Chains A and B, each alone.
Chain A
Amino acid sequence: MEWNQETLQFLSQCFLHTLSPSPAPRRQAESSLADAADRPSFALAVLRLVAEPSVDEQIRQAAAVNFKNHLRTRWAPASPAPDGSAADGAAAAAAAPIPDPEKEQIKALIVPLMLSSSARIQSQLSEALAVISKHDFPKQWPALLPDLVANLQKASQASDYASINGILGTADSIFGKFLYQYKTNDLLLDLKYCLDNFAAPLLEIFLRTAKLIDETASSGQAVNLRPLFESQRLCCRIFYSLNVQELPEFFEDHMPEWMGEFQKYLTTRYPVLESSGPDGLVLVDELRAAVCENISLYMEKNEDEFKDYLDKFASAVWSLLGDVTQSSSRDRLAITAIKFLTTVSTSVHHKLFESEGVIQQICQSIVIPNVRLREDDEELFEMNYVEFIRRDMEGSDLDTRRRIACELLKGIATYHKAEVTAIVSAQIQNLLSSYAANPAANWKDKDCAIYLVVSLATKKAGSNAVTTDVVNVESFFTSVIVPELQSQNVNEFPMLKAGALKFFTLFRTQIAKGITMQLFPDLVRYLTSECNVVHSYAASCIEKLLLVRDEGGKARYTSADISPFLMVMMNNLFTALRFPESEENPYIMKCIMRVLGVADISQGIAAPCIAGLTSILNEVCKNPKDPVFNHYLFESVAVLVRRACEKDASLISSFEGSLFPSLQTILANDVTEFFPYAFQLLAQLVELNRPPIPANYMPIFEILLSPDLWNRGPNVPALVRLLQAFLQKSPNELSQGGRLSQVLGIFNKLVLSASTEEQGFFVLNTVIENLDYSLIVPYIPHIWHALFTRLQNRRTMKFVKSLLIFMSLFLVKHGPSNLVDSMNAVQPNIFVMILEQIWIPNLRLIAGNVERKLTVVASTRLLCESPFLLDAAASRHWGKMLDSIMTLLSRPEEDTLAEEADAPDVAENVGYTATFVNLHHAGRKEEDPLKDIREPREFLVTSLARLAALSPGKYPQIISENLDPANQNALLQLCSTYNCPIV
């Protein structure tokens, strides 16, 4: 793309239209740009447009955004396609990378351009620069840092803080990698390079700005102070990046300068700036927070070098915290400052807290004020219940004042437990008395008390030690929590109700069953609260209660316990899903799943539930939003179908009637997010049917064999599962119409790619396990051919193990001679080769109970039945095979289970794109193909004893010649255990 008037016109027009409110010109412009992006020098042309002063600012800004995004996808050199790409199919044919000469031109232009741009464009270009540096800095871009330093010095001479801050911001983002990468020699070399070039200029500008601040703080104008504080904040962040890996020599040598300024910012007030509107204070606080992070880092990692400064900083932070009011704009400062004190409290310098009254004072003036509810919390509670719960209940409150204040208490308790406990207990009593004096006015005191108990509990749910030292749980529950739960108005003081429900949930194992059962109707009642947090917490509490197990693993609450409330509970749960903003409430849906998993599913329950669930399903199909909600929805359907049919198999057809339309909608409307779920549900339905499978499944079977579906990675495990179900339930349909060859075609495709080879073996194993030998005979040469080719091309450990398991399954189902002969038919003597190179050396690596049993039995049968191995000439092979079997058998199961090879991540977290997520309740039980054999060890020695009896004296010798002494011993022991001597 040549840079001329025409290009300028074209690009300007496009970017202008991308800002258009009407969709047609916007889409047109976006597609023209997308086309143009493939032309050479596109990025350069866009950058030139950004630099063109005659062009309207908003067009240039849009161009800058486009430039940055263009670089994101195209700066990195094209990586070779990963070998598993077949399954990822459509997943983005990578955009062509920017050619090197163009890159060089961009690198030459971008720094001066960024520095001369307006603030908004500058921030875009700074990000673009960060993208480039991520790949190129420092080795491919040696000019950058010296360039930045030179510009910094120039700007510093001119006190041009727009440029200074632009440069510092850029430096901050290119040094960001030191924050998270592992310490390798390469990283340290880069760090050293950055330090050599930047440490001194950084200190210089930091001190220079500090001096300017000192001179103008009281006399100057806020508008002039602003950039100075911004500049210092950036310096502090760079300080952190450069110090996080280890304490660099330069910084150690210049600690006095740095620490002196740091301390100044924590202890000095800047009234001119702080009173110049709310963001004036924010600006100063951000600098202070950055300082707190730096001193926390030093405190944590360099306590020795830092210890001389500690006292002064501790008292500075302390008095600062006294000033930090409850206003949420000072949150970050409060949090970083408290974190610093927490670090000190758990460090070797914890003695700082030992002085008389210190802990008491911390509790009163720092902890309690920060734990108390603030208006912001109330607002969040009402406006954004999801976020509130995430913070309040699920531990995403790492960066809230409430949480961090409690962390400080816990920190101090590390070395001063008794004192902390006593003080907190007393505080809680105070809060409760204050509440008792005037509940309506002082309800926040009660909330604060509950919060303290919950947060300081030695443990959250679940473990043996859910306990707290600060109050007696039972009496606190009876006197403080139960009255809330029994309150008749479910909508009154919702935050207190939520606190009480949370307490109940967290201490659920501590509360006796009798008391819980009395409160159960109240929990059910709270499902009808209008408040989203309250009905969510009620649902969550019920859900967690149903999981409580007593010693011995028996569920504490059974179907009988909940059956009196079941009808009204289900009704309330489905009703709760109709409250505004709770239409896709995951806590409610999870509770539905759990209840259905426990309750007695009568037809009276099943019918309304399946109706309710399918109508929700039809609704979410239109626009899948919350993947967690959707997951529990499908789990609920699966568990309902499974448990109802377990009780009454005839219900299957009514479920089919309800679900088929929804499942068809998913397939027909291409709701790809739900495909994996739909296939799993279908598989479950197929399995629950008695053969013959109803005719209405057959179209699905046809769909299943269409290669397109298999191209989408996340579908594959679910499709395999469905295919297995079909193969097991109706093997005969398979032999018709060339379907078997289609199935094997799928196997072939899957086994070629490392990411799906495992799935390929599932298909193959199912075929081998379920079909008559006569049906598969014609295909066997193709199967071996495919497997051996793959083995030759890429022999991964995982493939080898899968192959070994497949051969074993083949052997136990169709006999050793079929196995050996069919292999040798593909290539003479290949069986011996496989035996030597694959079977014997890798047998010991097989993991999993079923798999170990299968391979041991198959190997034993080879030893005792294969003419090749029984031949005297093969006695060494015979011995080595037995040695391998013994090695496998003597490895503890836990060991082999712990082994994990290069497994594909078929399931990441539940995400917004279609991923495969296993439906727990639609899962199949592992089936043992060798149910009639109890114990593989016994099978081994009885078979060997029988064989040995035929030619006495032959085998003991082979054994002593070929088996490792430890294995010989183990074998002897086995023989005596089962009383089967090998003679």
Chain B
Amino acid sequence: MADDASLLRRDPIKSSVGNVAAQRRRRQAVAVGKERRESLVRAKRFCRIGVSGSANGEGDGEGDGDGDVSPDIDMVVDEEQSVLEAQTSSAVEELKAAIAYQGKGAMQKRVSALRELRRLLSKSEFPPVEAALNAGAIPILVQCLSFGSPDEQLLEAAWCLTNIAAGKPEQTKALLPALPMLIAHIGEKSSLPVAEQCAWALGNVAGEGEELRNILLSQGALLPLARMMLPNKGSTVRTAAWALSNLIKGPDSRGATDLIKIDGVLDAIVRHLKKADEELATEIAWVVVYLSALSNFATNLLVKNDVVQLLVERLATSSSLQLLIPVLRGLGNLVAGDTNTTHTLLLPGSEVTDGVVKVVVKCLKSEHRVLKKEAAWVLSNIAAGSVEHKRLIYSSEALPWLIRLVSSAPFDVRKEVAYVLGNLCVGPTEGDARPYLIQEHLVSLVGGGCLSGFIDLVRSADTEAARVGLQFIELVLRGMPNGEGLKLVEREDGIEAMERFQFHENEDLRNMANGLVDKYFGEDYGDDELAG
């Protein structure tokens, strides 16, 4: 009811229902669920074959950390865990002895002791990290990282640390005393293999969580890692990009904002997205994901430097799921960002916009649930734009898919799709006025049969899904011509779905649902009763 005017009194006023999102939705910065990227690329990576695995250190021999690369030839996987642990303890003791030894061949002795420990830490599916830590490996490994040590020693020590850091949270945290030295060795004076191995260890540490990320940032890990990412190719660049994506994950935005300000970083991102192979592009895309998720400043710069176009290009040409997921999410973040930027960029009718819609629709049609969900999320943010944006999606080939998906897809996809459809039906917000309703879209979507999908969402245990469902019901009740909305909602058992909230603990949902039932199906409804 719109009783603002006070000349004459009307019926009492119920609390307003508001509108479907009607504005862009940023992602929650806090992750509770399993990171989907992790099923494809782990946040922490175990190192089985060293970065210098092939003689020149620049080759492609290193593992991609996925755990499923072919193991060392000399590896004996079936060894008893207890045996392995015992061996590890004694290897640490050996290493201590080797360090203490000052005589002839001391260096050789140290390296071979290190190599033995590294071998033990790399061979099993369940590396004996705990045993190594209990035996006191960390202080001794830190000692091995001291300045002036030969590369081989540094490499082996960093490798050991990498795999310790790939363990459980407490084990990763054990690396704390080693961090300053690891950071010291990723500087420009280090050899590439050493720097890369240290970056890998740091990446694992950063992957652990906010607390360790903050420590790494305050110890200055960002700048040297960023510089490692600047060259055109090589595994070092990839490892650095991966470590950086872990380091800037937030939820604090400081890392992201600082990274994009570093000279050459923006340029390198653009360059890699344009030219790099899919593997490197994947890592870079993850960097873009976190930059754009956390930092408005970075988002603006990325948009100004045509990153949207580059992402669209990648989406159009690649079929690698590993790559598509971060690229699509990055694109979504950019679209969800600053409204002005996206307004100027995503001009309806422009080539970029058509490209975006096209590739997003491609992902929406994919079989992969995560891609579908991400795609729907991107569309929901475009649909939150101007009337022209809404028309664009409305008249695109996405529409029939969306209508189908809102009733029949897995839950999280349905929820995202509901935001798209809802946003298509309300006009953009202007000032303090409430967004108006785009009746043409509403009528056609409801005619297409999407209402039942929304009502199912109202019945869901998920409060957000319920909210978007209720908001859509409100649009239907208010906006369908000739009061048809009432009948439709009733026919789809919408009243019953809303009545579930009569005593719900979420006040907002309760008021919304009760308000709608009272307003549209309260005493007055009977007065309009029509016969069949």
Q: Are A899 and B4 in contact (CB under 8 A)?
A: yes
Q: Are B437 and A304 in contact (CB under 8 A)?
A: no
Q: Are A247 and B34 in contact (CB under 8 A)?
A: yes
Across the interface, which residues of A come within 8 angstroms of B526, CB to CB? 462, 544, 547
Q: Is the CB of B532 within 8 A of A303?
A: no
The chain B residue with its CB closest to the CB of A252 is B34
Most A Cβ at <10 Å: residue of B30, B35, B531: B531
Of the candidates B8, B463, B508, B525, which one forms a contact with A926 in the assembled complex, judged by CB atoms under 8 Å apart?
B8
Q: Does chain B have a CB within 8 A of A244?
A: yes
A463 and B529 alpha carbons, distance in the complex (Å): 8
How many inter-chain contacts with C-beta < 8 Å in the A-B complex?
225
Tell me the nearest residue of chain A to B436, going by C-beta.
A895
Chain A 503-533 near chain B by CB (<8 Å), digits 1 or 0: 0000001100000000000000000000000
Complex Cα spacing A926 to B478, Å: 22
Secondary structure of the A contact surface, majority rule: loop
Known contacts A797-B432, A900-B434: does B2 contact A465 (CB below 8 Å)?
no
Contact yes or no, B463 A909, CB < 8 A: no
Q: Looking at the complex, which of B90-98, B109-117, B311-319, B406-414 is the stretch in contact with chain A?
A: B406-414
For B496, the chain A residues whose CB sits under 8 A away are 395, 398
Which of B175-183, B252-260, B332-340, B499-507 lies at the binding interface? B499-507
Interface residues of B in 1-57 (CB under 8 A from A): 1-16, 28-35
Interface centre among B4, B13, B411, B523 (most CB of A within 10 A): B4
* A462 CB contact (under 8 Å) in B408, B514, B529: B529
Partner of B6, one of A179, A463, A758, A926: A758
Contact status B461-A550, CB under 8 Å? no
Q: Say yes or no: A899 contacts B506, CB within 8 Å.
A: no
Contacts of B2 in A (CB 8 A): 847-848, 896-900
Quick one: which of B9, B32, B462 contacts A717, CB cutoff 8 A?
Answer: B9
A848: B residues at CB distance < 8 A? 2-5, 7, 10
Those of B490-531 within 8 Å (CB) of chain A: 490-491, 495-496, 499-500, 504-506, 508-509, 514, 518, 523-531
Residue among A460, A762, A899 with the highest chain B CB neighbour number at 10 A:
A899
Assess A551 versus B1: contact at CB under 8 Å? Given A184-B28, A246-B32, A463-B490.
no
B118 within 8 A of A: no
Contact B369 A802 (CB under 8 A): no
What A residues does B463 contact at CB under 8 A? 180-183
Given known A-B contacts A398-B500, A903-B3, A182 and B508 have beta carbons under 8 A apart = yes
Interface stretch, picked from A83-91, A186-194, A423-431, is A186-194
What is the distance, in angstroms, from A845's C-beta to the closest C-beta of chain B?
Answer: 7
Known: A304-B410, A547-B527, A905-B13. Contact between A458 and B6, CB under 8 A? no
With contact pairs A180-B506, A556-B531, A899-B434 given, residues A462 and B490 touching in the complex (Cβ less than 8 Å): yes
Contact call A918/B11, Cβ cutoff below 8 A:
yes
How many whole Å from A625's CB to the nearest CB in chain B?
21
* Complex contact B33–A248 (CB within 8 A): yes
**B-contact bits for A276-306, CB 8 A (1 contact / 0 none):** 0000000000000000000001001111100
Please tell me if the beta carbons of A395 and B499 are within 8 angstroms of each other in the complex: yes
Judged by a CB distance under 8 angstroms, whether B85 is at the interface is no
Given A245-B32, A247-B34, A905-B13, CB of A459 within 8 Å of CB of B491: yes
Is the Cβ of B6 less than 8 Å from the Cβ of A762? yes
Chain A residues closer than 8 Å to B65, beta-carbon distance: none
Measured between C-beta atoms, what is the minimum distance from B13 to chain A in Å?
4
For the complex, give the distance between the alpha carbons of A917 and B532 in Å.
33
- Considering only CB atoms, which chain B residue lies closest to A509 in the complex? B531
B508 shortest CB reach to chain A, Å: 7
- B187 interfacial contact with A, CB 8 Å: no
Instruction: Report the separation of the CA atoms of residues A881 and B527 in the bound assembly, to the nearest whole angstrom.
Output: 41
> Given A302-B411, A797-B432, A918-B11, do A182 and B506 touch, yes or no (CB 8 Å)?
yes
**Residues from chain A with Cβ under 8 Å of B499 in the complex:** 395-396, 398
The CA of A248 and the CA of B31, in the complex, are separated in Å by 9
- Cross-interface CB contact of A850 among B7, B529, B530, cutoff 8 Å: B7
Nearest B residue (CB) for A802: B6
Complex CA distance for A765 and B14, rounded to whole angstroms: 23
Which residues of the partner chain A approach B3 to less than 8 Å between Cβ atoms?
758, 847-848, 900, 903
Instruction: Say yes or no: B530 contacts A464, CB within 8 Å.
Output: yes
Q: Judge whether B433 is part of the interface by a CB distance below 8 angstroms.
A: yes
Interface size class of A (residues with CB under 8 A): 35 or more
A301 to B436, Cβ gap below 8 A? no
Q: Is A851 interfacial (CB-CB < 8 Å)?
A: yes
Residue A805 CB within 8 A of the other chain: yes
Picked from B4, B251, B410, B487, the residue with its CB within 8 Å of the CB of A901 is: B4
Bound together, the chains give a CA A463 to CA B29 distance in angstroms of 45
Q: If the complex has contacts A395-B495, A465-B532, A905-B14, are A721 and B523 also in contact, measured as CB distance less than 8 A?
A: no
Residue of A nearest to B511 (CB): A905
Question: A552 to nearest B CB, angstroms?
Answer: 9
Residue contact B6 to A549, C-beta cutoff 8 Å: no
User: Could you say which of B11, B34, B467, B529 contacts A509, with CB atoms under 8 Å apart?
Assistant: B529
Q: Are A551 and B531 in contact (CB under 8 A)?
A: yes
Say yes or no: is B464 at the interface (Cβ < 8 Å to chain A).
yes
| B130: Cβ under 8 A from any A Cβ | no
Interface size on B, residues (CB 8 A): 69
Whether A185 touches B29, Cβ cut-off 8 Å, given contacts A462-B525, A895-B436, A903-B3, is yes
Q: Contacts A185-B30, A847-B4; is A244 near B461 (CB within 8 Å)? A: yes
Identify which of residues 179-217 in chain A touch chain B, using a CB-to-CB cut-off of 8 Å: 179-185, 188-189, 191-192, 195
What's the least CB distance linking A608 to chain B, in Å? 26
Q: A898 contacts B478, CB within 8 Å?
A: yes
Q: Are A548 and B487 in contact (CB under 8 A)?
A: no
Closest to B509 in A: A180
Shortest B517–chain A CB gap in Å is 10
Q: Shortest Cβ distance from A752 into chain B, in angstroms? A: 15
> B456 near A: Cβ within 8 Å?
yes
A869 to chain B, nearest CB (A): 23
Contacts of A302 in B (CB 8 A): 411
Compute how far the CA of A563 lies from the CA of B527 in the bound complex, rounded to whole angstroms: 21
The reply to whether A906 and B5 contact each other, CB–CB distance below 8 Å, is no
Residues in A with CB closer than 8 Å to B508 are 182
Cβ A854 vs Cβ B434 within 8 A: no
Complex CA–CA separation, A901 to B508 (angstroms): 16
B460 within 8 A of A: yes
| A640 to B381 Cα, complex, angstroms | 55
**How many angstroms between the C-alpha atoms of A904 and B13 in the bound complex?**
7
CB distance from A34 to the nearest CB of B (A): 29
CB-based contact B34/A549 at 8 Å: no
Does A253 contact B34, Cβ atoms closer than 8 Å?
yes
A548→B529 contact, CB < 8 A: yes
Taking the closest CB of chain B, its distance from the CB of A270, in whole angstroms, is 29
Asked whether, in the complex, the Cβ of A553 is within 8 Å of the Cβ of B6, the reply is: no
Within the complex, what minimum Cβ distance (angstroms) separates B497 from chain A?
10
Q: Which of B5, B478, B523 contacts A847 (CB 8 A)?
A: B5
Rounded to whole angstroms, the CA-CA distance of A976 and B4 in the bound complex is 33
Cβ contacts A89-119/B at 8 Å (1 or 0 each): 0000000000000000000000000000000
Considering the complex, which residues of chain B in the window 447-493 have a beta carbon less than 8 Å from any beta carbon of chain A? 456, 460-464, 467, 478, 486-487, 490-491
Q: Which residues of A lie under 8 Å from residue B32 when comparing CB positions?
A: 188, 191-192, 195, 245-246, 248-249
In the complex formed, the residue of B with least CB distance to A809 is B7
Q: Does A720 contact B (CB under 8 A)?
A: yes
Q: A182-B508, A398-B500, A846-B5 are in contact. Are A905 and B15 (CB under 8 A)?
A: yes
> At the interface, yes or no: A348 with Cβ under 8 Å from chain B?
yes
> A809 CA to B6 CA in the complex, in Å?
11
Residue of B nearest to A544 (CB): B526
Interface residue from B1, B14, B33 paired with A252 (Cβ < 8 Å) = B33
Q: Show 6 A/B contacts (Cβ-Cβ < 8 Å), sorted by A.
A: A179-B505, A301-B412, A463-B487, A762-B9, A846-B4, A850-B7
What 10 new A-B contacts, CB under 8 Å, besides A464-B530, A549-B530, A899-B434? A181-B463, A189-B30, A195-B32, A245-B462, A249-B35, A462-B525, A556-B531, A762-B6, A798-B4, A895-B436
A-B pairs, top 8 by smallest CB distance, nearest first, are A907-B12, A851-B5, A463-B487, A188-B30, A761-B6, A180-B505, A249-B34, A897-B2
